[in-house]
Each structure stands twice: as structure tokens, then as C-alpha cells.
Amino acid sequence: MNTKIYEEILNSSNIQTILEYYGLKIVKKTCTCPFHHDTHPSMSIHQNKGIAKCFVCGGGGNAISFIQKYENEINHNPIGVRDAMRKAIEIQGLNIVIPEKNNKPLTEEQRRKQNLNNILKDAISLNEYNLNVNNNESNMALQYLQNRKISLDTIKQFHIGYAPSNKTYTTEIMLKKYNINDLIEVGISKKDNKNNPIDVFHERIIIPIFDKNGNPVRIS
């Protein structure tokens, strides 16, 4: 990490702009904390220090560390400090350039893990979309969750989705980008008794499982 550029980004950043980018509504220098179930605003914004801090769970950070924490824990999009620095620049339109470093090429095993991880991420996003489209199936699924006292914030936080009743829906969409063997390996698709690819899950609520680093492990 380039410490000089890190500090330059922080000195040029507005922590409130970062929080507002992630949809947090700030009133009188406070907002609800996205890192725990917060019914009353418990996150304070300290403009002079360039940080946000929750006095309940301790979550928050500066313009860069907040981005990294939010992406990892809420968006389940694991990023490092360097990528968080880039995003801080992008969000605020800062005129700062991070020098490119010579990264070692990924090994075959690393590329494969990355591909399988991308499959799960795309499937999770598709299921989330399916839960929120305005049709009878999705509306019934959403109503079921709400009847179980699962709030919209919880649904969003845990990336809960819905797989439609069409048994080939997800597989057909994912096959436009990935091969069937990889879809089967991550547990999204399977073969029927006629050897045709179909979905493992259909007409049900989908709950993704993530590891401690925010990487999707599987869906269930």
C-alpha cells in the first residue's frame, strides 16, 4: 500500500459523501449503523476527524476503511485496501492516481476459484432480483418473509432471494456466461433423468452462505 497516496485520499475525502453513497441518511451528523440491527441512529459522523463511528457496535471507519468494511460485510464483495482506495477516488471524483503495481498472474487454481466465486455471486444477485420483481411468485415469496417477521433491511443485509418455479430458469441464464460442469460443482444446477440441465432450487426462498471474509460459499 502506498501510504502517501492513502493519506492524500483521506485528506481529500468527505466521510459524509461516502456514507451517503451507500444510502445512509445523515441527520444532525448521525445515521443508522449498517453493521448491526440499528433502530435508532447510533453512528456519529466526525467531519473534523474524517471518520464515522457507531457507539453501539463500534463499526465505522475513515473514507477508505469504511468502504472496505461495507463492501466486505454488507455487499459481500471482498476487497482489499487498494481497491477501497480506488473506490473512494471514484465515488468522490478525486483527481488522484494510484500507480499500477506489477501483480503476479493468477495460478490456474486461483483462476478456477475466482470463476466459481463469480458464479455464486451472479446467482445470488439473480435470486435477489427475482425476489424484488413485481409478479405473483415474487410478491408471495416476499409476503411470506414479512409474515415471518423478516424485515426488508434483513433481507437486503443477508442477500436473501427467490428461485422461480421454472425448473430451468436460473440454469439457462447462467449458461450464457458459464459452463454446466461449473454450475453443477457449485450446486446451482444438476442433470435430470434425461441428462438435461435443470436448477437445483426452484420455487423457494434462497439464503446464501458466506465465509468470514464475505466470500459466498454456497446457496441453500
Residues 67 and 143 placed together within one structural domain of the fold: no
Asked whether residue 101 is domain-assigned, the answer is no
- CATH number (domain holding residue 117): 3.90.980.10
| Whether residue 174 is found in the same domain as residue 77 | no
pLDDT of residue 111: 85
pLDDT computed for residue 8 by the predictor: 94
Give the span between the Cα atoms of 188 and 198, in whole angstroms.
Answer: 9
Asked whether residue 76 is domain-assigned, the answer is yes
Residue 103, pLDDT above cutoff 80: no
CA-wise closest residue to 92 among 66, 118, 125:
66
pLDDT, tens only, 151-164? 888 898 888 999 99
pLDDT score at 102:
60
CATH number of the domain residue 7 falls in: 3.90.580.10
In angstroms, the CA 6 to CA 151 distance is 37
173 falls within a domain = yes
Q: What is the domain range of residue 15?
A: 3-92
List the one residue out of 157, 164, 158 whose CA is nearest residue 137: 164
117 and 187 housed in the same domain: yes
For the chain, what is the domain count?
2
- Looking at the domain assignment, is residue 181 inside a domain? yes
Note the pLDDT tens digit of each residue in 163-218.
999 999 999 999 999 999 999 999 999 999 999 999 999 999 999 988 766 778 88
- Do 75 and 114 lie in one domain? The reply is no
Poorest-pLDDT segment among 43-52, 61-70, 103-112: 103-112
